[in-house]
Amino acid sequence: MEMYQRMADELLIACHECDLLHIKREIPLGGSARCSRCGSVLYRRPADTVDAALALTAAALVLFLLANFYPFIYFKVAGRIEVNYLITGVFTLNDYGMPPLAGLILLCSILAPGLKIALMLYVLVPVKFGRTVPGLARAFRWLETISPWGMIEVYMMGVVVAIVNLLAIASIDYGMAFYCFVALFFVMAAASAKLDPHLVWERLE
Amino acid sequence: MSSSSLGTAASRSLIACHSCGKLSPAAEKGACARCGADRHLRKPMSVQRTWALVISAAILYIPANIFPVMTMIISGKGEPHTVIGGAVELFKAGSWSSGFLVLFASVTVPCFKIVGLMYLLLSIHFKSLWRPRDRTVMYRVIEIVGRWSMIDMFMVSILAALVNLGALALVEPGPGAPYFAAVVILTMIAAQTFDPRLIWDTMEKADG
């Protein structure tokens, strides 16, 4: 039993989708190991890990703040210019008596992406400098929970469809926040790609 | 299909943590030593919870499509649109790509998720041995593609915020919108409560 446990800790990994055990092997830089039975990714070895992920997350923080505090879209109709911010839709839906829907939009477009950036910084800064802070493991666990609810790329497509709907009646100008939001998506995607959760878990141990 | 000689973690009485993947003996008590998550051999009550969520989503999908998700009034003229009606309007206006995008995100994706999860649950119930690898891929697609159903909700929120000029032009969210949002939330949680390892547990038992 004890022998199994030590083996399990150091040598083995179970596929998270079909539970098959595999012996961990060294893989080439930039490669990934897949389950021999169901084909899901077991672990990856990104070319550069914590440093790159940390740099990208810091950039994401700046973009996130700009995306929230600068105008998102200018709406021009009949000689009037309306300024809209990222959060305007949340307040509007709330005013129409739909607070749960407003809350969901707030979660997916602002809270989850913001929390994701904050948690990544909270985990990556100590990992980078070899320190420990309280609740490090819990923060990284929450990161996995919150991730599916951050929907920056879906929101962007929502903006596109909304604008197509308005082409006939008004003209639209994109604000600074819109470009920051688009950049935020690419930066966050790159940061996630640079990070293999298993590597962080091993360092946290 | 070559099975590794090691077998599954469960067959060796090992639990792989849902959260961080750390292996630990099933006999051990308490939370995961590495990340602090509760340890379970399989996601708890996976089949029951997923059924409950998927059936709820299927029921709510009906009012989500019957009731309008928004009303667009321009210069006093306009009428309520359902999700599909909104896509039809986009087609009429000649925006084929946006029309297809809305149809795909609001009709294809939720239906595929609901029917797909029901199929996976039934295949587990009837101990199907048919193409487990393809069923796992199907689950992976359901998990990844689900978030895209939110496009229509984001569109309504953006339009309601932008077009808010009183008598001149106004977009009002309709009663269908909260139902539609509920369908997206329920199917996303259903994909998370489903445990794809159950597909393979049947194979294990069949192998002996």
Q: Walk along chain A (205 residues) and give the pLDDT tens digit of each residue.
A: 566 666 656 788 999 999 999 998 888 988 899 999 999 999 988 877 788 999 999 999 999 999 999 999 998 877 888 899 999 999 999 999 999 999 999 999 999 999 999 999 999 999 888 888 888 889 999 998 999 999 999 999 999 999 888 887 788 899 999 999 999 999 999 998 888 888 888 888 7
Give pLDDT, residue B1.
38
Is B33 found in the same domain as B47? Answer: no
Residue that the structure tokens 């995306």 belong to? A67
Distance CA B88, CA A145 (A): 36
Q: How many cross-chain Cβ pairs, A to B, lie less than 8 Å apart? A: 227
- B contacts of A12 (beta carbons < 8 Å): 6, 14, 23
The mean predicted confidence, pLDDT, of chain B is 91
For residue A99, the surrounding DSSP H or E stretch is: helix A99-106
CATH number of B67's domain: 1.20.140
Of A104, A158, A169, the CB nearest to B74: A169
Minimal Cα–Cα distance from B179 to chain A, Å? 9
Is B26 found in the same domain as B72? Answer: no
Minimal Cα–Cα distance from A43 to chain B, Å? 10
Assign A181 to helix, strand or coil: helix
| SS (HEC) of chain B | CCCCCCCECHHHCEEECCCCCCEEECCCCCCCCCCCCCCCCCCCCHHHHHHHHHHHHHHHHHHHHHCCCEEEEECCECCEECHHHHHHHHHHCCCHHHHHHHHHHHHHHHHHHHHHHHHHHHHHHCCCCCCHHHHHHHHHHHHHHHHHHHHHHHHHHHHHHHCECCCCEEEEECCHHHHHHHHHHHHHHHHHHCCCHHHHHHHHHHHC
pLDDT tens digits for A175-191? 999 999 999 999 999 99
Is B118 found in the same domain as B88? Answer: yes
Of A20, A98, A169, the CB nearest to B177: A98
| pTM, full prediction | 0.90
Distance CA A147, CA A192 (A): 10
Is B195 found in the same domain as B152? Answer: yes
Assign A27 to helix, strand or coil: coil
Distance CA B12, CA B143 (A): 28
Is B201 found in the same domain as B162? Answer: yes
Is B72 found in the same domain as B8? Answer: no
Is B165 found in the same domain as B70? Answer: yes
Minimal Cα–Cα distance from A155 to chain B, Å? 6
Q: Which residue of B has its CA nearest to A99?
A: B178
Is B77 found in the same domain as B30? Answer: no
Inter-chain residue contact B21 with A16, CB threshold 8 Å? yes
Q: Total structural domains in chain B?
A: 2
Inter-chain residue contact A20 with B93, CB threshold 8 Å? no
Is B17 found in the same domain as B120? Answer: no
Structural domain including B203 reads: 43-207
Is B173 found in the same domain as B72? Answer: yes
Between B33 and A184, name the one with better pLDDT. Answer: A184
Inter-chain residue contact B6 with A108, CB threshold 8 Å? no
Give pLDDT, residue B2.
41
Check: CB of residue A14 under 8 Å from CB of residue B8: yes
Among the candidates B9, B24, B41, a domain finishes at B41
Is B146 found in the same domain as B68? Answer: yes
Distance CA A11, CA B180 (A): 46
Is B154 found in the same domain as B90? Answer: yes
Minimal Cα–Cα distance from B62 to chain A, Å? 18
Backbone angles phi, psi at B169, to 5 degrees: -160, 135
Domains of chain A listed by start with CATH number: 2-44 (no CATH), 50-204 (1.20.140)
Predicted ipTM of the assembly: 0.90
